[in-house]
Structure 1
Amino acid sequence: MRRRVTTSVLSIAIFFLLAASFSLHVFRHLLPSGNAINSRTLNQPVDRLRNYAVGEAAVSVLRVLRSPPRHRPPPTESVLLLDWDVLLLPSPNTSTAASGRPLSCLFHTGATSLARPAGPVAFLCSLPNSLRRFRPFYTPRLSEASSNASGWVGQEDPPREMLRSTQLAYESVSTADDVIVFVKGVNRRRDRDLPASSLRCVFSPASGGAAVATTSVTSSAQEAFRCAHPPAAEVSSIGPFRVSISTGPEAAPIPTLANYHRPGGPASGGRLSICACTMVFNAAKFLPEWVVYHAAIGVERFFLYDNGSEDELESVVSRLGSQGFDVTTRFWPWPKTQEAGFSHCAVVNRDECEWMAFIDVDEFVYSTDWDESDQPNRSMMGSLVAVGPEVGQISIKCLEFGPSGHRAHPPGGVTQGYTCRRRNEERHKSLLRLDAAAVSLVNSVHHFELREGFETKQVEVGEARLNHYKYQAWKEFKAKFRRRVSAYVVDWKEPMNLASKDRPPGLGSDPIEPKGWTDMFCEVNDTRLRDATRRWFTEVKLDGAERMAWDS
């Protein structure tokens, strides 16, 4: 009897072995080849991959090896920014975010820090001192500030580590023809870009899980990467999706927060003639003067990239909107991404604006032809862009103004108080015809590279100039020590590149007021713009007192 049972078991085992061998032979074409990515990689979440990337040969295998994942919202995620700031992105399932009560970031040890709203769906908090010496850094939870703090290690398996802003795919734009992904940590040095042929775009569910498709990268420059859209069938059954960059066959995709969307339809309505785009941090005090002035001379719409402001920017923008000014704010917390921000602004607004002025809120366009004008008019800026179709960019030189004796922000604004400047022109800023921007979107903040067939027009100071109120009262100026926003400019706190034109002459690496600061950079007394703005914008109140139109 025992021998009969043994024989039966052996027969069954041999049957299954032969069946498995036959199936493997018949369906071998469905398995990845030796040079394709292995199945272990396919089953790992993109944000957990360490030494693997989704190869092109593996894309067709994904449909065979697993059924489509269920739709799930993204989990709560966080990014460690510079200066120990934490950007917290709660999951859409987090009800605490909409409670309206004071909130805090609750870390795994029970330590907390105040959570301040940052943009429409995010919060900023500080990593507590007690956690800065320990690795890894875990994503905090959003908690009501009044709740009892307690740690949560062991309640999540595994806990999510913070992403790092120094290596992150942080934004994407879908055009009709391709996808543009903005990524930190790939092209790390100016003019040393990895070849597009060595890179891939990787598409994966935002909730985590394996990648569903990859496509070729067609352009790699600075922090902007262009690639083809994935096949619609790969991204139609589940969502939302994210997109990242892989730097090689054995390299993990860069961690990503960049959401991917299929391209929408063309924008409705006509294009505006002139818009302005800038990146701001705590610029609410200066914004009304800048907007009121430039709107009066012809700028029709303003795009602000908010680099984590902590002042009254939101309320100031709201007030300007109620006064009829067209001002749009985009939350852009990513450190040292000014070039990428300008590239983003150029591509997403191409259908809305013909020309874009890339200038800062302490820079004012002016022409000596306007010296005798009694009133501003919207054709003033228009006269600067009245050029032939071959002109893709207009370069305007800067005149840099000093503190002019002021120890605090001058009454009436920068145009009224800062009237003494350096003699020589320094650098330039540009008005860009958006259709003329190079496919790479490369820019140096001051100007863009252009497509073939377009040229840059250099404007002489006698025709137009940019009043740059760069060296203000020390109390205002020292805020620049916080961080330079350009990806390729050394922060002033670093004792490097001290001869850079970005730094004031003689200024060291510490925010200490130089002796005689209030009278520095004063070589020419220049009141042209002050006099013009007094004629144009002075208002008389009922009590007879005068004020500028931008004073609240």
Structure 2
Amino acid sequence: MESISGASPITRSISIRETVMLPDQALIFLNYLPSARLFTKEDLDCVYLSVESSQRQLRKPPVDVEGGWDRDNQIVRCPRQPRGFTVSLALKSSGHVPPPVPSHRWDSLAYEAMIDRDNTTIVFVKGLNLRPERLSNVSRFECVYGWDFRRPKFLLRSDVVSIAQEIVRCKTPLSVLNSPRRMSTSNNSVKVSVRLKGRGIFRSIARPGSGLRPGNDPYTRKQYEMCVCTMLRNQARFLKEWVMYHARIGVQRWFIYDNNSDDDIEEVINNVVDMLSKTKDIDEEVSYNITRHVWPWIKTQEAGFSHCALRARDTCEWVGFIDVDEFFYLPSGLVLHDVLQNQSRYSYVGEVRVSCYSFGPSSLKHVPEQGVTAGYNCRLAAPERHKSIVKPEALNSTLINVVHHFHLRKGFEYVNVDKGVMVINHYKYQVWQVFKEKFYRRVATYVADWQDDQNAGSKDRAPGLGTRAVQPPDWSSRFCEVTDNGLRNQVLRIFADPETQTLPWQEVGEQGNHRKSRYKRKG
């Protein structure tokens, strides 16, 4: 499990720092000199070199280049190489192909790290294979810091403070905290990994970088009362409705963790951020504070939510963790501020749990033009699971969560919101065209993929479906036990144009006619 480091120059000003192999693509991390021009997708080719013949090459365009203008964190996403080939990059203008750097297997890797406000290092590690919701024995592990893990004499070692699921909290050596190079994530900054005693060190691309700010006075009001964090892949077509609706009921800040989308989601987010909307009930303009965080790590939703909670802690009083097909619905007409203010009267409340109702296709066979909230109106009678709104300041230092809720610090408790006050409408079983995409991969660590023959009776699966994306003949009429027009009527009343009855998130052509969404997958 030892890490191999090295860089391979593409030009004098740019080199390949490291490569991580995911099941369906390769992530190639670039390293730039300070004065170098940043390259775009149009500048580069993914080059596949035969391991048997140095003369044999294949070239393909990158899936995407992530990281924008951040020279320390630019990632090129290449299609996975064919069997018998290695992957590298080349500038189209020069054609020079550097030798590939040693690649890291994704299933055993320290992939992210950050220094917390108490100066401990939080390391996110794939391949620990620990049980969910359980603390593990810290004596079996130690943290290691260095530049080249092949040279153990030059590594710094420290104690593990806690370890659970995919998250390790380490005591950070003073020399690392005081080093100016640790404030960067570039190639010359220190890495951190975890050693399983008796087995070795996990490969690592995790660089702690800059730390989180010290904690605010608990009596100081945060910048935002209500924020939302989500992790998604190829959900751009639903994002505008999700953001605009939740802005109306009181969400002020969105953290979007993008898990390898290829449907122009960055363009959609930028358009929504720039957009100001008015509804007929509101005179003031509503702006959308949204940030997209590149999170390429597959089946790491729990770790990603912990990462998001830490990022949101300084500015958000409360954070809701929901998917883009889930909508808070307040039947009484209240807004989120009213609910949270009521709960904030009790200092021990650290988490608000909200019941989820799962909606079915509602007899539809095509994606509803007015969006999910106005399109689907038939659901299962009983709620399935819950989702949570949490106070980041109340989270347990282990950051244990199971997607639906977090573990809290001593002195804090959760409360269940009455279903008459607030529920979540989960548009889980949409028309088959949308639902079948769930068969690609689930994002949660401890939830089996739809193709896997595991936990067949779990609520995380669709009853009556097997492991293949084959549409049942009666799909459009399934999961329909109760007609529920509550949120639909509320959305039409608040958002619909009084003349055309169109909703602000609908795609409308030049003649006022609806058109199909232009957000398509690339390739």
| Aligned position for 1:331 | 294
Structure whose CA Rg is larger: 1
| Aligned position for 2:30 | 90
- Secondary structure at the residue paired with 2:61? strand
Q: How does 1:52-67 map to 2 (within 5 A)?
A: none
Is the 1:114–1:125 contact (alpha carbons within 8 Å) kept by the matching residues of 2?
yes
Q: Judging changes above 3 Å, is the alpha-carbon distance between structure 1 residues 497 and 344 closer, same or farther for their aligned structure 2 residues?
A: same
Task: Tell me which amino acid in the other structure corresponds to 1:549.
Answer: P
Matches of 2:437 and 2:476, distance apart in 1: 16
1:124 alignment partner, one of 77, 80, 85? 77
Is the 2:63–2:79 contact (alpha carbons within 8 Å) kept by the matching residues of 1?
no
| Aligned position for 2:109 | 168
Task: Tell me which amino acid in the other structure corresponds to 1:280.
Answer: L
2:228 alignment partner, one of 276, 285, 292? 276
Structure 1 residue 388: Cα displacement: 0.7
Is the 1:284–1:311 contact (alpha carbons within 8 Å) kept by the matching residues of 2?
yes
After superposition, give the CA deviation of every residue in 1:261-314 in whole Å (9 maximum; x if it has no partner): 353544899431110001011111111111111111111100010000011210
2:164 alignment partner, one of 198, 201, 221? 221
Q: Which runs of 5+ in 2 are unaligned?
A: 6-12, 51-56, 68-73, 182-187, 276-286, 508-523
Q: Judging changes above 3 Å, is the alpha-carbon distance between structure 1 residues 208 and 199 closer, same or farther for their aligned structure 2 residues?
A: closer
Q: Does 1:142 align with 2:89?
A: yes
Q: Does 1:290 align with 2:242?
A: yes
Q: Judging changes above 3 Å, is the alpha-carbon distance between structure 1 residues 398 and 298 closer, same or farther for their aligned structure 2 residues?
A: same
| Aligned position for 1:309 | 261
Q: Judging changes above 3 Å, is the alpha-carbon distance between structure 1 residues 390 and 515 closer, same or farther for their aligned structure 2 residues?
A: same
Q: Percent identity?
A: 37
Q: Does 1:402 align with 2:360?
A: yes
Structure 1 residue 382: Cα displacement: 3.7
Q: Does 1:186 align with 2:128?
A: yes
Structure 1 residue 112: Cα displacement: 2.5
Q: Does 1:426 align with 2:369?
A: no
Structure 1 residue 359: Cα displacement: 0.7
Is the 1:298–1:382 contact (alpha carbons within 8 Å) kept by the matching residues of 2?
no
Q: Does 1:244 align with 2:193?
A: yes
Aligned length: 464
Matches of 1:392 and 1:161, distance apart in 2: 45
Is the 1:173–1:180 contact (alpha carbons within 8 Å) kept by the matching residues of 2?
yes
| Aligned position for 1:29 | none
Is the 2:115–2:122 contact (alpha carbons within 8 Å) kept by the matching residues of 1?
yes
Q: Judging changes above 3 Å, is the alpha-carbon distance between structure 1 residues 456 and 148 closer, same or farther for their aligned structure 2 residues?
A: same
Task: Tell me which amino acid in the other structure corresponds to 1:367.
Answer: L
After superposition, give the CA deviation of every residue in 1:85-121 in whole Å (9 maximum; x if it has no partner): 1111122259686166352211222222321324211
- Secondary structure at the residue paired with 1:294? helix
1:256 alignment partner, one of 181, 204, 228? 204
Q: Judging changes above 3 Å, is the alpha-carbon distance between structure 1 residues 307 and 287 closer, same or farther for their aligned structure 2 residues?
A: same
Is the 2:250–2:337 contact (alpha carbons within 8 Å) kept by the matching residues of 1?
yes
Q: Which runs of 5+ in 1 are unaligned?
A: 1-44, 50-71, 371-375
Task: Tell me which amino acid in the other structure corresponds to 1:87.
Answer: L
Matches of 2:199 and 2:37, distance apart in 1: 37
| Aligned position for 1:414 | 372
Matches of 1:367 and 1:300, distance apart in 2: 17
Matches of 2:404 and 2:177, distance apart in 1: 40
Structure 1 residue 123: Cα displacement: 1.5
Q: Does 1:471 align with 2:429?
A: yes
**Could you state the TM-score of these two structures normalised by the residue count of structure 1?**
0.78
513-522 or 224-233, which deviates more: 224-233
Is the 2:309–2:319 contact (alpha carbons within 8 Å) kept by the matching residues of 1?
yes
Structure 1 residue 187: Cα displacement: 3.2
- Secondary structure at the residue paired with 1:107? strand
Task: Tell me which amino acid in the other structure corresponds to 1:453.
Answer: G
Structure 1 residue 366: Cα displacement: 1.1
After superposition, give the CA deviation of every residue in 1:332-365 in whole Å (9 maximum; x if it has no partner): 0101000001111112221111111011111111
Q: Judging changes above 3 Å, is the alpha-carbon distance between structure 1 residues 498 and 146 closer, same or farther for their aligned structure 2 residues?
A: farther
Matches of 1:495 and 1:264, distance apart in 2: 41
Q: Judging changes above 3 Å, is the alpha-carbon distance between structure 1 residues 385 and 361 closer, same or farther for their aligned structure 2 residues?
A: farther
After superposition, give the CA deviation of every residue in 1:437-491 in whole Å (9 maximum; x if it has no partner): 1111101100111111111101231221110000000000000000011101110
Is the 1:80–1:87 contact (alpha carbons within 8 Å) kept by the matching residues of 2?
yes
- Secondary structure at the residue paired with 1:406? coil
Q: Does 1:354 align with 2:317?
A: yes
Structure 1 residue 73: Cα displacement: 9.4
| Aligned position for 2:476 | 518
Q: Does 1:529 align with 2:472?
A: no
Q: Judging changes above 3 Å, is the alpha-carbon distance between structure 1 residues 478 and 328 closer, same or farther for their aligned structure 2 residues?
A: same
Q: Does 1:106 align with 2:62?
A: no
Is the 1:96–1:142 contact (alpha carbons within 8 Å) kept by the matching residues of 2?
no
Q: Judging changes above 3 Å, is the alpha-carbon distance between structure 1 residues 208 and 92 closer, same or farther for their aligned structure 2 residues?
A: farther
Q: CA RMSD in A?
A: 2.7
Q: Is the helix fraction higher in 1 or 2?
A: 1
1:484 alignment partner, one of 434, 442, 464? 442
**Could you state the TM-score of these two structures normalised by the residue count of structure 2?**
0.82
- Secondary structure at the residue paired with 2:3? helix
